[in-house]
Amino acid sequence: MIVMVSDSRSRMVESAVILLAKHGLQATSFAEVLEHSGAPRGSIYHHFPEGKDQLIAAAISLAGERAIALLDGLDGSDAQDVVDGFLGMWRAVLRASDFGAGCSVLAVTVAADSPPLLAAAGEIFRGWRERLAELLENGGITRATAPALATLIIASSEGAVVLSRAERSFAPFDQVGEQLRVAVDAASRRG
């Protein structure tokens, strides 16, 4: 039997990830997090003595680790399959939320008022870029191209999710996916 060290804490972090992705940083208030998670009121500053920033940092850290875990599962695949897997994750987010959700790390980046929180977001993005570059290299892309191609894939995925949310249509997202496949194919041939 596994001991539940702190169930309400993890439920709050989980809810914060979802609320950040849907409504942004300022709208992810303690009141919203408590309602969404069902966690008890009195446990906020017990679990997060440093306040909201600590909760948000934990949330984007979790979101960051989940994306890394997804990437890990794609290691060893052909570069094209790696890209498809990564895009598939974001497509699922758009579909499951009916264009109502995006990336929690991006939401924090564009609204953060605290330098440490912004730096945390930057570290997460950098981790994604580096891990994806490794996977692309393992999938047949040259070492000279993989880092920049990885950054293109992450930047354009993030942007595509925003465009599709705003337009409430998969059209922008799928156009980006199509062009990324062309780019990866060309890079694979060059490699």
Partner DNA sequence: GTCTATACGAAGATAGAC
Partner DNA sequence: GTCTATCTTCGTATAGAC
Site residues (CB under 8 A) for its own copies? 23-27, 102, 105-107, 109-111, 113, 118-119, 121-122, 124-126, 129, 147-149, 151-152, 154-160, 162-163, 165-168, 172, 175-176, 178-180, 182-183, 186
15, containing H or E segment: helix 7-23
Whole-number Å distance between alpha carbons of 155 and 65: 18
Nearer to its own copies among residue 85 and residue 127 (C-beta):
127
Tokens 């992810």 label which residue?
28
Other Cβ atoms within 10 Å of 174 Cβ, number: 14
Instruction: Report if residue 144 touches DNA, rule: CB under 7 A.
Output: no
Q: Which residues touch 132 (CB under 8 Å, ≥6 apart)?
A: 71, 82, 86, 150, 153, 154
Angle (CA) 150-121-118 rounded to 5° is 135
Tokens at 91, concatenated: 């497509």
Which one of its own copies, DNA, none interacts with residue 43, CB within 5 to 8 A by kind? Answer: DNA
At residue 38, what are phi and psi to the nearest 5 degrees?
Answer: 75, 10
Asked if residues 44 and 30 have their Cβ atoms less than 8 Å apart, the reply is yes
Which one of DNA, its own copies, none interacts with residue 44, CB within 5 to 8 A by kind? Answer: DNA
User: Minimum CB separation from its own copies for residue 55, in Å?
Assistant: 17
DSSP E strand boundaries for 15-164: none
User: Minimum CB separation from its own copies for residue 32, in Å?
Assistant: 12
Nearer to DNA among residue 5 and residue 96 (C-beta):
5
Tokens at 23, concatenated: 């409504």
Instruction: Report if residue 32 touches DNA, rule: CB under 7 A.
Output: yes
Nearer to DNA among residue 49 and residue 98 (C-beta):
49
What part of residues 46-75 is at the interface with DNA (CB under 7 A)? 46-47, 51-53
Nearer to its own copies among residue 91 and residue 129 (C-beta):
129
The binding site for DNA (CB under 7 A) comprises 5-6, 8-9, 27-32, 39-47, 51-53
